[in-house]
Amino acid sequence: MKPLTPVTVDRPPDESAKSRACDPDASASAPAVRLLVADAQAIDRRALAVLLRSQPGLRVVGEAASGDEALALARLHAPHVLVLSLALPTAGGEPVLPWLLAAEPGLRVLAISERGWEQCVVLNPPSPGSLPVLPDEACRAGVDCLQLAMTQGALGTVRRSADPDLLFAAVRAVAEGRPSHDPAALEAIARLSSSDAPHRTALSPREVEVAALIGRGFSNKEIAVTLAISAPTVT
C-alpha count within 13 angstroms, C-beta hemisphere, residue 10: 11
- Residue 115: is its pLDDT beyond 70? no
> Residue 12 pLDDT > 60, yes or no?
no
pLDDT in tens, 196-226: 444 444 455 566 556 555 544 566 777 777 6
Q: Would you put residue 228 in left (φ > 0), alpha (ψ -120 to 50) or beta?
A: left
Give pTM, 2 decimals: 0.65
Adjacent-strand bridge partners of 34: 59
What average pLDDT does this structure show over 75-94?
A: 94
Taking CA atoms, 211 is separated from 137, 139, 160, 205, 217, in Å, by 7, 10, 24, 10, 10
- What span, in angstroms and rounded, lies between the C-alpha atoms of 30 and 49? 19
Q: Pick the more confident residue, 160 or 220.
A: 160
pLDDT in tens, 92-111: 988 899 999 999 999 999 99
Alpha carbon 108 to its chain centroid, in Å, reads: 10
